């Protein structure tokens, strides 16, 4: 298994190209199953979660063809309406194929998902949303078995909390339903709005995506489509922390300020400067880092997917920081590994108290999930001596060429192949 070797102490400087958003790409690949016409996606990041999702739609019979900067998914003929445990166990987002298969064929069988070990992560809201549109759903031997009696019917779907995935499931299913669907308490994440933009290009009629109330007019007439996905705001936030933690300056090409307000606010509160450039955002720090209190929340709040990275940053600040996780119930697996590098954290339930000013020292550490792994890399960038990050496959799920991008702006980092 590949490992990363990092020698800390280099100040990062230069430009980093931010890839397409993984969390926008995954539902869009699933959405291709809705239509009998090809969907061309032109900003897919080269990460293993995207590969995995492309394999999943290919296993369903979709034809996947690649050119230099675009991938076309043609789901004209679908051979299989069942997604096996083997294909979904590695990635929870595979549950996103359930709604498109059901909406198009009136039946689907999808294994209950696996994925990052960050809490129980049930799929009850996905199931309730489909049931509200008239689907019959059972769980049989670890499979979600869904069917409709003559198709889905538009309805009001009220989500108990604004789940990103459940909003996407409801929106996709509603495109083929008879009549109008209203999704209330919808997730407002930019990736939800980008899925709506992609579905609209495919022929769907959707209003309000990006707000709490989404309206979908059903019975879509599908058409061939092309869509360029949004840049990855979590990847951008991660490199912003890399600039801040090393006291460097990075231009994040393609990053968008409007999708990152809460992240920029947190950076500024910690003494980091952020300003827009012609190509994206510039992040720089030359003064001291200050501690700050952070609470993760659904968008537009501070993203849970940047919590671990900001913990590494807080460890290097003057003073203490309180970090509260409210989205997932157990998302602090990075804490024991960060502590191996000298990070000073006390955990109480869903709150972490990070005492700043730690002198970090390199060590062997183990990645436990995607964002946890990258927090170890960030801490390694400022740890004295050598840090080895094991179990890199977590990192490869969501960061395109992380080691190469960091090396290009001055990090002492190399990938050690098994």
Query: Residues with catalytic annotation?
Result: 116
Is residue 327 a contact residue for ligand UD1 (CB under 6 A)?
Answer: yes
Based on the shown chain and the rule CB under 6 A, indicate whether residue 228 belongs to the binding site for ligand UD1: no
Q: Is residue 165 part of the contact set for ligand UD1 (CB under 6 A)? A: yes
* CB within 8 Å of 253: residues ≥ 6 apart: 15, 16, 17, 18, 279, 280
Among 166, 292, 376, 382, contact with ligand UD1 (rule: CB under 6 A): 166
Least distance in Å: CB of 94 to ligand UD1? Answer: 10
Shortest distance, position 416 Cβ to ligand UD1, whole Å: 27
Distance of CA 341 to the CA centre of its chain: 26
**267, 237 in Cβ contact below 8 A?**
no
Q: How many Cβ atoms sit within 10 Å of the Cβ of residue 296?
A: 21
Contact criterion met (CB below 8 Å) for 243 and 56: no
CA 255, CA 279: separation in Å to the nearest integer? 8
Which of 73, 101, 108, 123 is close enough to bind ligand UD1 by CB under 6 A?
Answer: 123
Closer CB to ligand UD1, residue 94 or residue 383? 94
Q: Give which of 322, 327, 317, 321 is closest to 379, Cα–Cα.
A: 317
Binding segment toward ligand UD1, per CB under 6 A, in 162-170, 339-347, 352-360, 372-380:
162-170
226 part of the interface to ligand UD1, by CB under 6 A:
no
Which of 63, 124, 268, 286 contacts ligand UD1 by CB under 6 A? 124
In the three-class reduction of DSSP (H, G, I as helix; E, B as strand; rest coil), residue 166 is classed as helix
Q: Do the Cβ atoms of 159 and 125 come closer than 8 Å? A: yes
Q: Which 58-87 positions form the footprint of ligand UD1 (CB under 6 A)? A: none
3-class DSSP state of 203: coil
* Residue nearest ligand UD1, CB atom distance: 165
Binding residues for ligand UD1 restricted to 125-154, rule: CB under 6 A: 125-126
- State the Cα angle at 171 between 166 and 177, rounded to 5°: 125
By CB atoms closer than 10 A (0-12, 13-18, 19+), residue 283 is buried
Q: How far is the CB of 357 from ligand UD1 (least distance, A)?
A: 29
Question: Pick from 10, 83, 87, 163: which binds ligand UD1 (CB under 6 A)?
Answer: 163
Nearest to 367 by CA among 344, 346, 336: 336
Which is nearer to ligand UD1, 124 or 268 (by Cβ)? 124
* Spatial separation of the C-alpha atoms in residues 346 and 335, rounded to whole Å: 9
Pick the piece of the chain touching ligand UD1 (CB under 6 A) from 116-124, 286-294, 317-325, 381-389: 116-124
Using the rule CB under 6 A, is 164 a contact of ligand UD1? yes
Nearer to ligand UD1, 189 or 251 (CB): 189
Torsion angles phi and psi, residue 272, rounded to 5: -105, 140
Q: Which range of residues in 156-164, 215-223, 377-385, 386-394 is near ligand UD1 by CB under 6 A?
A: 156-164
Nearer to ligand UD1, 74 or 305 (CB): 305
Structure-token match 């510039």, residue found? 282
CA-CA-CA-CA torsion sign (277, 283, 285, 290):
positive
Residues that bind ligand UD1 (CB under 6 A): 23, 26, 92-93, 119, 121-126, 161, 163-166, 187, 191, 304-305, 327-328
């Amino acid at each position: 298994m590949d490992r990363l070797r990092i020698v800390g102490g280099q100040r990062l400087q230069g430009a980093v190209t931010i890839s397409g958003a993984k969390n926008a790409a995954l539902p869009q690949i699933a959405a291709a199953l809705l239509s009998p016409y090809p969907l061309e996606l032109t900003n897919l990041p080269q990460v293993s979660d995207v590969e995995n999702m492309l394999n999943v739609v290919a296993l369903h019979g979709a034809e996947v063809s690649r050119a230099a900067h675009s991938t076309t998914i043609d789901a004209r003929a679908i051979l299989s309406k069942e997604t096996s445990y083997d294909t979904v166990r590695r990635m929870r987002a595979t549950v996103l194929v359930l709604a498109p298969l059901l909406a198009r064929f009136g039946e689907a069988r999808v294994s209950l998902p696996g994925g990052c070990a960050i809490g129980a992560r049930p799929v009850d809201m996905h199931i309730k949303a489909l049931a509200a549109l008239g689907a019959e759903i059972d769980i049989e031997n670890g499979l979600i078995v869904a069917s409709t009696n003559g198709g889905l019917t538009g309805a009001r779907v009220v989500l108990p909390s604004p789940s990103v995935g459940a909003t996407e499931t409801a929106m996709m299913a509603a495109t083929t339903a008879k009549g109008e669907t209203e999704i209330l308490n919808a997730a407002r994440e930019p990736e939800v709005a980008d899925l709506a933009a992609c579905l609209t290009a495919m022929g769907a009629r959707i209003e309000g995506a990006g707000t709490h109330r989404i309206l979908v007019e059903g019975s879509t007439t599908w058409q061939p489509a092309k869509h360029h996905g949004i840049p990855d705001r979590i990847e951008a936030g991660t490199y912003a922390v890399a600039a801040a933690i090393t006291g460097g300056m990075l231009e994040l090409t393609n990053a968008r300020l409007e999708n990152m307000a809460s992240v920029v606010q947190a950076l500024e509160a910690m003494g980091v400067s952020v300003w827009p450039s012609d190509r994206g955002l510039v992040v720089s720090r030359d003064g001291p880092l200050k501690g700050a209190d952070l609470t993760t929340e659904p968008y537009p709040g501070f993203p849970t997917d940047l919590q671990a990275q900001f913990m590494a940053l807080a460890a290097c600040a003057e003073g203490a920081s309180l970090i509260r996780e409210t989205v997932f119930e157990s998302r602090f697996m990075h804490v024991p590994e960060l502590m191996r590098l000298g990070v000073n954290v006390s955990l109480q339930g869903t709150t972490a108290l990070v005492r700043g000013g730690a002198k970090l020292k390199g060590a062997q550490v183990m990645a436990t999930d995607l964002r946890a792994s990258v927090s170890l890399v960030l801490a390694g960038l400022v740890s004295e001596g050598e840090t080895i990050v094991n179990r890199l496959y977590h990192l490869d799920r969501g960061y395109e060429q992380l080691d190469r991008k960091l090396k290009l702006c001055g990090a002492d980092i190399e990938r050690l192949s098994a």
